[in-house]
């Protein structure tokens, strides 16, 4: 059996990306391989890494170290974030060099050096294994880099329909304003339109701390970070799920579908390769279009029922075990010297996007203004002296935080 060295970025509580890395490392160990997890950062206590992983994610690994500068020889090394790709490329021993790709990470940065450096990581000669089909398509189309992929799955022991639970007239939204790729403002504005036209609709936000929610201008309930079982309960009592992701599909819509919840997402290139047409509505990325898709579903119990059944049937063939099996097969193929072929990946979603003309010009002026104003519009409207004082205060706070 082979020895795998994983390069894991700084652990973040509640991170789905970290959970996915750990789940797949655990799957390799279940096949008899040995995984050594190298965590970004440092710590005086050598046992702290294993304990921290168990505290945050519930997985127990015996071989965990802090730091990426003292790596024992291994048969395979796995980069998991763009700036670990060069570390894997430069390891001073022969090994299979893999790149576990979960997002087009360049999108996490403004267009510039960091954006291009993240894209450069795909050109270091590593063999990518991507979650979902779109990333494999992008690597081949943009850089002629062949990649393996595995399909999105869900833990069907957790995410499943609960027929005894009555569904509310409610929408749940994975709200993570600290992650720009989750498009929290577009989602909030879409839900504001929904709330304006259907005031009795309940809005549930979750996935981040309520302390960081910002100024949300309509009635809602913020549930914070939820345990996995509580997420499934939420998906079973809501009528529609909203999840937005601009850098790859999120795993969350697949878990929503497994629970029988109809989903609304954005119609973009990154969402057309992995979602089935029968269980999800992909709308143009404007708040108006997303809102109209949600409102249409809220008004159509028959369509929601059909989509919910289609989603749970689709995910019944995609348990988490199938996902990890595909990953392990790909990793073992690279170990054996079998590289992926460069070829086209077909789209699964071929419908046109949901569009909206219905609400253009028919919303209250205050809502229309919100839809077009930049985030700093309120500050820019203040007198110059006030803006300078606020800017000085913001810079001073940043310096204090940097000093700490």
In this prediction, residue 402 carries a pLDDT of 43
Please give the Cα distance from 373 to 274 (Å, whole number): 33
In-domain check, residue 320: no
From CA 203, how far away is CA 292, in angstroms rounded? 15
The length of the chain, given as a count of residues: 404
SS3 label, residue 207: coil
User: What pLDDT was estimated at residue 359?
Assistant: 63
Residue in 94, 90, 150 with CA at minimum distance from that of residue 318: 150
Predicted local confidence at residue 371, as pLDDT: 76
**Considering Cα of 377, then 378, then 382, then 386, what sign does the dihedral take?**
negative
**Is 83 a member of any domain?**
yes
In a domain, 39, yes or no: yes
Task: Give the ranges where 317-404 is alpha helix by DSSP (H).
Answer: 320-335, 365-372, 377-380, 384-403
**Mind listing the pLDDT tens digit of every residue in the chain (404 residues)?**
999 999 999 998 888 899 999 999 999 999 999 999 999 998 878 889 999 999 999 999 999 999 999 999 999 999 999 999 999 999 999 999 999 999 999 999 899 999 999 999 999 999 999 999 999 999 999 999 999 999 999 999 999 999 999 999 999 999 999 899 999 999 999 999 999 999 999 999 999 988 877 779 999 999 999 999 999 999 999 999 999 999 999 999 999 999 999 999 999 999 999 999 999 999 999 999 999 999 999 999 999 999 999 999 999 999 999 999 999 999 999 999 999 999 878 999 999 999 877 665 677 877 777 777 766 555 555 566 655 665 666 555 544 434 33
Domain membership of residue 164 (yes or no) is no
Contact 206, 228 (CB under 8 A): no
Residue 383: the pLDDT is 66
In a domain, 309, yes or no: no
Using DSSP's 3-state secondary structure scheme, residue 146 falls into: coil
End-to-end CA distance of the chain: 45
Beta strands in 50-198 (DSSP E): 64-66, 76-79, 96-101, 127-131, 148-150, 170-174
| pLDDT at residue 404 in the model | 39
Domain encompassing residue 81: 3-125
Measured CA to CA, the distance from residue 194 to residue 201 in angstroms comes to 8
Residue 34 lies in a domain: yes
CATH number of residue 106's parent domain: 3.40.50.11090
What's the angle, vertex CA 103, arms to CA 4 and CA 61, rounded to 5? 30
Report if residue 44 sits inside a domain.
yes
Give dist(CA 168, CA 77) in Å, integer: 47
Number of domains, the chain: 1
CB 154 within 8 A of CB 254: yes
Tokens of 181: 């790729």
Structural domain includes residue 293? no
Instruction: Report the distance separating Cα 382 and Cα 134, nearest Å.
Output: 44
């Amino acid at each position: 059996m082979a020895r795998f060295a994983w390069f894991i970025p700084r652990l973040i509580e509640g991170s789905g990306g970290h959970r996915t890395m750990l789940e797949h490392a655990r799957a390799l160990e279940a096949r008899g391989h040995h995984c050594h997890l190298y965590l970004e950062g440092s710590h005086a206590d050598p046992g702290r890494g294993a304990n921290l992983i168990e505290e945050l994610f519930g997985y127990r690994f015996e071989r965990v170290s802090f730091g990426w500068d003292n790596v024992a020889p291994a048969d395979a090394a796995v980069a998991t974030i763009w700036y670990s790709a060069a570390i894997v490329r430069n390891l001073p021993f022969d090994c299979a060099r893999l790149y576990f790709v979960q997002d087009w990470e360049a999108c996490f940065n403004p267009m510039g050096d960091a954006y291009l450096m993240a894209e450069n990581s795909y050109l270091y000669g590593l063999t990518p294994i991507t979650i979902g089909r779109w990333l494999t398509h992008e690597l081949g189309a943009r850089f002629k880099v062949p990649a393996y992929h595995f399909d999105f799955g869900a833990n069907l022991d957790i995410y499943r329909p609960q027929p005894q639970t009555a569904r509310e007239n409610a929408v749940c939204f994975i709200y993570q304003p600290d992650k720009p790729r989750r498009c929290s403002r577009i989602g909030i504005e879409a839900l504001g339109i929904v709330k304006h036209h259907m005031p009795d609709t309940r809005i549930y936000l979750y996935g981040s701390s309520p302390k960081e929610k910002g100024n949300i201008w309509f009635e809602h309930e913020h549930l914070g970070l939820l345990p996995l079982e509580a997420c499934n309960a939420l998906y079973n009592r809501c009528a529609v799920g909203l999840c937005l992701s601009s850098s790859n599909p999120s795993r969350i819509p697949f878990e929503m579908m497994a629970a029988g919840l109809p989903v609304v997402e954005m119609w973009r290139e990154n969402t057309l390769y992995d979602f089935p047409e029968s269980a999800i509505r992909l709308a143009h990325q404007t708040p108006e279009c997303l809102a109209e898709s949600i409102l249409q579903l809220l008004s159509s119990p028959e369509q929601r029922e059909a989509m919910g059944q289609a989603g749970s049937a689709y995910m019944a063939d995609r348990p988490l075990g199938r996902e990890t099996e595909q990953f392990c097969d790909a990793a073992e193929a690279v170990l054996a010297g079998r590289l992926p072929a460069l070829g086209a990946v077909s789209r699964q979603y071929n419908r046109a996007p949901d569009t909206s003309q219905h609400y253009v010009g028919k919303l209250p002026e205050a809502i229309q203004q919100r839809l077009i104003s930049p985030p700093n519009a309120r500050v820019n409207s203040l007198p110059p002296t006030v803006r300078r004082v606020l800017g000085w205060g913001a810079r001073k706070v940043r310096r204090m935080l940097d000093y700490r």
